[in-house]
Structure 1
Amino acid sequence: MSIIERLASRFRRDTVSLELDDIQALILRSRPEPYVGIHAMLHFDEAEGARDLLGRLAPHIASADTWTDELDHWIGVAISYEGLQALGLPEDQLKTFPLPFQQGMAARAPQLRDQGPNAPENWDAVFTPGRCHLALTIYAVDDAALNRALASARVELDRAMGVTLLGEHRFGAPEGAKNPFGFRDSISQPAIEGSGVAPLPGEARPIKAGEFILGYPSETGVPLAMPEPAVLGRNGTFVVLRKYQSRVGCFNAFLKANGETAEARERLAAKMFGRWRSGAPLALAPNTDDPELGADPRRNNDFAYADDPKGRLVPLGCHMRRLNPRDAELTLLTDVNIHRIIRRSSTFGPVYSEDVVPADDAKGERGIFFIFVSARAFDTIEFMQQEWINRGNFIDLGEERDPVVGLHEGEQRFTIPQTPARKRIDGVQTFNVMKGGEYLFMPSLSALNWLAKAGWRNAAKHD
């Protein structure tokens, strides 16, 4: 059964309370497995042509009311603050957006801990501050479906005036949706109240929709502040896009330096991620990989940390436990439900091989677009970067950082709790180097049409 068929089997329309027909499909619809796709970055040279392009693209963007449809591709679009400015959105409405969004990702580098090799001056040219006005993403089930979608999108782009294509980047992963390091990716996704899709075992209760989509009650009981007017903000959300170059060769060399056998190296890699490469969690398969478990969505996320408070099965500082602490007791208290995210990350480059060496990393051909959706996107990513990823105080690990996505300036260590004494492994490097990104707003379908028609002008006429 495909992932889309599995989703359709869990969908119950009588439990829907969200306006699915107005929400972009990419927000609630999981990517296919295997998957291919493309990210395209565009710049608006003049407002009228840019608005014309939005109007042309809008009919091609599927809504979230397509859970049960056998779509072979779907398109999502998101706009930067400078993009909204270029469209002509009035200043009083621009000011209703969150300050981090107004400033943009590059300007928030201190809050994101994007320094050293991750600093904005080292990013790809397409992510030069102010250049990327619109990000267009297409997910497809295969190359043929992607090419058909691209042909339609290019027809509309060719007809539009005043818009420049800055660049495009293909991505994809084979069956199993492995990341650049060979691990199954995007396993743990939150269940969303009112979406019509019941939670899987291990997902606990559905999280309030307002944590992900603007205009609905959040975990605090009330909707979060949203851009005004309501036609612009409601059913939209915010997106964080971060492109990373994965240093797979350095990762392989680290494993070989600290594991004499293939089994020892696999165990160390699993301890760093919190799962085996198949996706089987250490909490359920602590000693050896279990591919059948890893491939089973009804079992591979059904666990908690209450019985492993010291991290002897799943290290406290591993990547998975940091980014979703679940029921773990944290030194610095926080409500983990307001830091949950919908992940739409995409892998690019050749599949993982243990034969990749450090010299291969200079080619920059492997990596991941870390993309997530949240109504609190900017607060969440900045909190994660400051506390959960690039610090360890919340789990009594001081300045120890995430061994997979942390910024390691100089070689640092990774701690594996065990009996009788914990094991500390030195030599951890920055295995994922930031190559650019942006803070984006993903409008509802009605908002896209409103922007295309410069709806604020009509509102002004009626005032």
Structure 2
Amino acid sequence: MFLFNLFKSQATQDATSSSLIDLSNVQGDVIIGLQKRCEAFWFCSLKTDPESIEGFRKKIKSDLLPIITTAQGVIDSQKKIDFSFSGIKKLGLKTEEIPTGRDGVFSKGQKVDAVENLGDPVDQATKKLKTWSNEFLDEVNSIDFVVLITAPDLKLLNQKLDQVRHAFGGHLSNSFVRQGSVRPGEQLGHEHFGFLDSISTPKIEGFNAQPEDEKAGIIQPGVILLGQPSSGGTSVGLDPNQAWLKDGSFMAFRELQQLVPEFQAFCDDSAKKNEELNASGDFIGARIVGRWKSGAPLSLAPNEDNPELRVAQNFDYLDELKQERCPYAAHIRKSNPRNGSQAGGDSQKTILPHLMIRNGIPYGPELTGEETDSKKTKENRGLLFVAYQSEIADGFQLVQKIWCNNPRFPAQPAANVSSGLDLLIGQISDGSPRTAQNIIPAVPGGNTDPNNTLTALQPFVVPLGLVHRSIIR
């Protein structure tokens, strides 16, 4: 989080110093999620006149720096700030010192990334993004920075948001807000499709302890933080003049609308069409996700839910090369193949360096009876997805483009099967139907059937916007 050193001496830290993580040098939410029941993202565009820029810099020093939450600080209301490439330029900082990412993903911006790499729906004639909200498409007011505020209740959240708006509003040409909150009652911790979320957040070497029986793998600090050691080629090294960047990170923010009644209807209808399975829609949903709604993984509970396994991590896919329990196309297997991507593959080099720290939050109202009855979404709801990594092209972008959108990933020649798309978040830019294999098993236990294809004629997760930001310390 390079913000702490933006406005003070840049000669106080050695970019090649100890690999131990200094929690006071890392913005909150990056490796320790901010405590959140409610969360606001305030997206801001700076005025360009010198007086406004200088006034903004002074306000950061006087009003925001003292209350930015580090990974070591825990308070009721917590704040962090992230800058875009355009925002860094407007502030007059040395953009040549900022890692722009492989293929310039950070400097090119999120719209280019969405069209060229992520598969977001586009008009095939104009190549314009079709589903994004107008605020994210604004060509006049670039999003220069984001302030993230979390709080234990909505009243305190709005109070803190108003304080920040009052402090900085005069220096802005435009701003807008996205807010989310945890779901109520028994759905606490679950996203709107009903599945327990954020179970498989990777642990970081030197920071987290990993239980002996856990098989999720542990990543090195450099996968998430700039200037820290890593393996697999994803570590972003820093020159001496970039010491002020150490322990910074890059954030990918995604507003994802979830079509909940359509997804549930699809699962229910798919179960009815395959009566020989004697299965429910929840079983089909579990096959699409790779976990039951409780969080129990199919690899340990293939035929029925077992809530006692809701946060289980003591599994991988080395013994599932023929998809006996969890399909290749299941969301959690596509987005984190663990050790089961290729026979003999080294996950330390091929999988772990591409994982991210994810700290999103649901947004929008609960499902209504009218929506359930009509099987049609009427209210906007979904997930404000946030991912942190030291290299966007090796983290968020790769997972979406090379893993979830790729019908041949994970590759397994020995099994002679192709997985298909991730039916949950996989995207096809031209809107073609999305297919996945073996979601419907030959028998309830899940035998491989390369010809058993499930087709979804519509997406169930719709991207409404994307923002790439550097987390400045």
**TM-score band, normalised by shorter chain:** 0.7 to 0.9
Partner of 2:122: 116
* 3-state SS of paired residue (1:181): coil
Q: Closer, same or farther in 2 for the Cα pair 1:303/1:107, shift >3 Å? A: same
Mapped partners of 2:83, 2:424: distance in 1: 29
Partner of 1:30: 33
Shift of 1:353: 6.4
Partner of 2:300: 284
Letter in 2 for 1:54: I
Task: Confirm or deny: 8 A CA contact 1:403 1:428 kept in the other structure.
Answer: no
Q: Closer, same or farther in 2 for the Cα pair 1:194/1:180, shift >3 Å? A: same
* 3-state SS of paired residue (1:306): coil
Task: Confirm or deny: 8 A CA contact 1:350 1:366 kept in the other structure.
Answer: yes
Task: Confirm or deny: 8 A CA contact 1:193 1:207 kept in the other structure.
Answer: yes
Mapped partners of 1:149, 1:250: distance in 2: 36
Alignment of 1:115-194 (within 5 A): 115-116=121-122, 120-128=129-137, 131-158=142-169, 161-174=170-183, 176-194=188-206
Mapped partners of 1:123, 1:436: distance in 2: 5
* 3-state SS of paired residue (1:210): helix
Mapped partners of 2:369, 2:244: distance in 1: 48
After TM superposition, the score normalised by the length of structure 2 is 0.80
Mapped partners of 1:355, 1:88: distance in 2: 52
Mapped partners of 1:369, 1:395: distance in 2: 27
Alignment of 1:27-426 (within 5 A): 27-32=30-35, 35-46=37-48, 47-55=53-61, 56-66=63-73, 69=74, 71-93=75-97, 99-108=104-113, 109-116=115-122, 120-128=129-137, 131-158=142-169, 161-174=170-183, 176-195=188-207, 197-200=208-211, 202=214, 206-220=218-232, 223-226=235-238, 229-260=241-272, 264-294=280-310, 297=311, 300-330=312-342, 335-352=350-367, 356-357=371-372, 363=378, 365-396=380-411, 398=418, 400-408=420-428, 409-416=431-438, 417-418=441-442, 422=449, 423-426=452-455
Partner deviation per Cα, 1:27-47 (whole Å, 9 max, x = no partner): 1212547x2111110111132
Shift of 1:283: 1.4
Task: Confirm or deny: 8 A CA contact 1:243 1:437 kept in the other structure.
Answer: yes
Task: Confirm or deny: 8 A CA contact 2:265 2:375 kept in the other structure.
Answer: no
Which structure 2 segments of 5+ residues have no match?
1-17, 412-416
Mapped partners of 1:156, 1:203: distance in 2: 47
Shift of 1:199: 2.5
Partner deviation per Cα, 1:381-428 (whole Å, 9 max, x = no partner): 332222211112133555821110012523332322545662432335
Alignment of 1:408-447 (within 5 A): 408=428, 409-416=431-438, 417-418=441-442, 422=449, 423-444=452-473
Instruction: Give 1 or 2: higher helix fraction.
Output: 1
Shift of 1:171: 0.4
Task: Confirm or deny: 8 A CA contact 1:250 1:358 kept in the other structure.
Answer: no
Mapped partners of 2:174, 2:460: distance in 1: 30
Q: Closer, same or farther in 2 for the Cα pair 1:220/1:427, shift >3 Å? A: closer
CA RMSD of aligned residues (A): 3.0
How many percent identity over aligned positions?
25
Letter in 2 for 1:429: Q
Mapped partners of 1:192, 1:95: distance in 2: 22
Letter in 2 for 1:138: I
Mapped partners of 1:376, 1:355: distance in 2: 43
Partner deviation per Cα, 1:76-132 (whole Å, 9 max, x = no partner): 211111111111224543576651100001122212222337953542122125621
Q: Closer, same or farther in 2 for the Cα pair 1:258/1:355, shift >3 Å? A: farther
Which structure 1 segments of 5+ residues have no match?
1-14, 445-463
Moved more, 313-322 or 359-368: 359-368
Task: Confirm or deny: 8 A CA contact 1:247 1:431 kept in the other structure.
Answer: yes
Task: Confirm or deny: 8 A CA contact 1:72 1:141 kept in the other structure.
Answer: yes
Task: Confirm or deny: 8 A CA contact 2:433 2:455 kept in the other structure.
Answer: yes
Mapped partners of 1:187, 1:24: distance in 2: 22
Mapped partners of 2:463, 2:398: distance in 1: 17
* 3-state SS of paired residue (1:440): strand
Mapped partners of 1:242, 1:385: distance in 2: 12
Mapped partners of 2:147, 2:240: distance in 1: 23
- The alignment status of 1:19 with 2:22, answered yes or no, reads yes
Shift of 1:228: 7.7
Moved more, 131-140 or 78-87: 131-140
Letter in 2 for 1:24: Q
Moved more, 183-192 or 47-56: 47-56
Moved more, 320-329 or 89-98: 89-98
Letter in 1 for 2:462: V
Q: Closer, same or farther in 2 for the Cα pair 1:20/1:381, shift >3 Å? A: same
Letter in 2 for 1:309: L
Task: Confirm or deny: 8 A CA contact 1:97 1:226 kept in the other structure.
Answer: no
Task: Confirm or deny: 8 A CA contact 2:26 2:248 kept in the other structure.
Answer: yes
Q: Closer, same or farther in 2 for the Cα pair 1:264/1:390, shift >3 Å? A: same
Task: Confirm or deny: 8 A CA contact 2:216 2:313 kept in the other structure.
Answer: no
Task: Confirm or deny: 8 A CA contact 1:79 1:134 kept in the other structure.
Answer: yes
* 3-state SS of paired residue (2:303): coil
Task: Confirm or deny: 8 A CA contact 2:262 2:375 kept in the other structure.
Answer: no
Task: Confirm or deny: 8 A CA contact 1:126 1:132 kept in the other structure.
Answer: no
Moved more, 35-44 or 204-213: 204-213
* 3-state SS of paired residue (2:459): coil
